[in-house]
Amino acid sequence: MSPASPTFFCIGLCVLQVIQTQSGPLPKPSLQAQPSSLVPLGQSVILRCQGPPDVDLYRLEKLKPEKYEDQDFLFIPTMERSNAGRYRCSYQNGSHWSLPSDQLELIATGVYAKPSLSAHPSSAVPQGRDVTLKCQSPYSFDEFVLYKEGDTGSYKRPEKWYRANFPIITVTAAHSGTYRCYSFSSSSPYLWSAPSDPLVLVVTGLSATPSQVPTEESFPVTESSRRPSILPTNKISTTGFAHQHYAKGNLVRICLGATIIIILLGLLAEDWHSRKKCLQHRMRALQRPLPPLPLA
């Protein structure tokens, strides 16, 4: 065997691996809705499929009923009920198709009247306590969804009798925020109501104990958070200004109290003087002679 045989063997093995790789399915692309997959009726939305560079062909399809467009995006200028449903996309390179993307559920909102959302026992919850968010609709829906502003996920709960309870056990600082809920029927899972009025959940008592201080697991560590904090140079002057402002406030309160006392003393003196006049008038009345008795 010649010395070059191992090199030719390695090249042949690499070519075989490339052929085997190309014969299999290509990696799946991603499908996103911009600005959101929850689209109010009458508003616009863009579905965009994204794969690797140098793609020969994109295919974006809607499931049930099945129809597709051979392009990497779909622009819906006016959201209608018929646009709601499940979508997916894929791409082709040469004679090979990629795996389909994860399915995207495009939801039409505002189809029904909004439900109501309330917090029990209160929307202001001490840390460590429990709270229940109640979503209630005037219609006989059997599906309810709760969304928190800023979160990508949702909380779904099927429940009968026009309402759903979303209990939050052991409330923490992460639960504070703005919540909204939707209602819909399981027979039409992509036609939702309008969102409820926002409910702001406030978690109180966040700085009471050291255990309530956020940890690295709660918040990502950035380059700026690793730097040592530097106290401002005017901290002392700011504190002095605060004490001076507090002293001025006390002086104003003292002057106001003294003024009220002086006014009250004046009122008491005037009342005493009027009572003295009334007493003198009564004494004069008693000193006058009585009128003569009528004759029989």
222-272: pLDDT as tens digits: 333 333 333 333 333 334 444 455 566 677 778 787 888 888 787 777 777
Identical fold between 25-109 and 113-206 = yes
* Tokens 């062909």 -> residue: 57
CA pair distance 35, 39, nearest whole angstrom: 9
Beta carbons within 8 Å of 219's beta carbon, 6+ residues apart: 225
**Mean pLDDT for the chain overall:** 76
Residue 84, Cα to own-chain centre: how many angstroms? 25
How many other CB atoms sit within 10 Å of the CB of residue 205? 13
Give the pLDDT confidence score for residue 234 in this predicted structure.
Answer: 37
pLDDT surpassing 60 at residue 145? yes
Residue range 81-90: mean pLDDT, rounded: 96
Rounded CA-CA distance 144/155 in Å is 8
Q: Where are the domains of the chain?
A: 25-109, 113-206
CATH no., domain 25-109: 2.60.40.10
Report the topology of domain 113-206: Immunoglobulin-like (2.60.40)
Peptide bond into 65 cis (omega under 30): yes
Task: State yes or no: pLDDT of 79 exceeds 50.
Answer: yes
pLDDT at residue 90 in the model? 96
3-state SS record for 275-293: HHHHHHHHHHHHHCCCCCC
197-235 per-position pLDDT tens digit: 999 999 998 543 433 333 333 333 333 333 333 333 333
Cα separation, 67 vs 105, whole angstroms: 15
User: 29-64 pLDDT, tens per residue?
Assistant: 999 999 999 999 999 999 999 999 889 999 999 998
Cα atoms in the 13 Å half-sphere on the side-chain side of 44: 5
Residue 279 has pLDDT above 70, yes or no: no
